[in-house]
Amino acid sequence: MSLGYAEKLSFIEDVGQVGMTEHFDSSNILQEKIERLATLIRKSKHLVVFTGAGISTSCGIPDFRGPKGIWTLQREGKALPEASLPFHRAMPSLTHMALVELERAGILKFVISQNVDGLHLRSGIPREKLAELHGNSFMETCPSCGAEYLRDFEVETIGLKETSRRCAVKQCGAKLKDTVLDWEDALPTKEMNLSEKHCRMADVVLCLGTSLQITPACNLPLKSLRGGGKIVIVNLQKTPKDKKASLVIHGLVDKVVSGAMISLNRQIPPFVRVDLFQTIITQALSLDKKYVNWTLRVSSVHGHKAPLPFVKSVEVSFLDREDYKGAILEKEPFQLKRRTVSTKSFEVVLKLNFSEGCGCPYIEMNIPIDFTVPIDCFNLDKDAIFEELKETAIQESCCGQNAVIVRREILTPQSEETVYAVVTNIVRHNKTAKVSELGDSLSNGGNVKRRLENGCTGTLKKKRSKNRHKKKPTTTTTSSLST
């Protein structure tokens, strides 16, 4: 979990049993249990997965109650663990992506998560097939119209408090709230109702990486028993629900899931992250109309005051114009102000240096600027562009691919906003021949043959008047702006 999230929680004396002994099934027993699990999944008609912090430890996110968990170390008076990556750059694990494959295959019907890391949504699990019982650190919601906004930065509050942003839905504009519960907050009714419904329908509820201690969430899997369903628990520590389970597996979640996917002959898809940012060029003629005073800003698509966490700095230069002074922008807002002759066109070169956790160090963009040419406005199919970028990134085994998806004109003040999509990470989870060969390659800090592709950078040349994409009408969306 996010250490920031843990620090924001209200103090509570009893956080449940912590620091429990970890148990590991022997290799032979583990192999036999994994085969049984695969058989249950193969025969399942309504598989529901219930997840806890244990599926995210291999993403570099500490858990709470393990031997090195946050609550355990706090109780022992020890320093808290440090996350290996910034929370906003954590990427889905092998287990997250295996669940995506099972959902796409029509096997997995619903996911119930107690995690607030947002990795299920980011991995590709559809929102309508996911209940996030304790909220999402990257999600804001509108209490008035119900619109949801998935951010690329951690929302600053928890406890269902108002944030600094407003709903973008027309005719609404209400203040948004965070979605992460504090100790005293009740579980969201909608999420609980869906979870209960699917658990009652389930013939298998697979519990992954959860101690099953927090009520009422921990009792949800039991609702499958009335209809003859079975519970499977995969966890290193014993849980209060073990006696109710048809199968208990003591093993690392990634190792167990990887083995089950091999038995099912299912390939675990790579994870490709696509992020969004925008450039805003604002212009105004001088009084004598000989010059243009203009400002170039690189910013978040989530609002002018929202952070842009994956960009560390922006280098600005001018192609073939040595008389125009460039700049290195190292702090947000990334903004450059210049004055140029109104009748002259030129080309701006932007180098976006990415922050820690991104799969490539930077991308470069060439932006032709000619204030005498009308702006070519359009709004393209974001999802289609995302898929095309992902396919290209997988084929080329590197990051940095990028594309323009929106360009719009604003009359007051006169400006042009352009939204870009860029591939910032690709992770492959290689299939292993035998589960027994996984051995100790898995730990709470590492994945099975998890490989980050990097070393590539992308370039993008922006043209004003020769865009070949078909124009589409502007639509209002409340879904995620990065994936």
Q: What are the binding residues for Zn(2+)?
A: 142, 145, 167, 172
Residue 86: C-alpha distances to residues 94, 117, 153, 210, 350 (Å): 19, 12, 10, 23, 25
| Tens-digit pLDDT profile for residues 355-388 | 999 999 999 999 999 999 888 999 999 999 999 9
pLDDT of residue 344: 87
What residues in the chain have per-residue pLDDT under 70?
A: 1-19, 62-84, 431-455, 457-483
Could you give all domains of the chain from N- to C-terminal order, each with its CATH number? Answer: 25-136+179-267 (3.40.50.1220), 270-425 (2.60.40.1970)
pLDDT attached to residue 60: 82
The predicted-structure confidence for 88-131, as pLDDT tens digits, reads as follows 999 999 999 999 999 999 999 999 999 999 999 999 999 999 99
- Residue 67: per-residue pLDDT: 58
* pLDDT the model gives residue 83: 62
134 is catalytic: yes
Per-residue pLDDT at 189: 95
User: How far is Cα of residue 164 from the mean position of the Cα atoms in its chain?
Assistant: 21
Select which of 88, 120, 134, 198 is catalytic: 134
- The whole-number pLDDT of residue 440 equals 38
Give the torsion through C-alpha atoms of 38, 43, 46, 49, to 10 deg.
-10
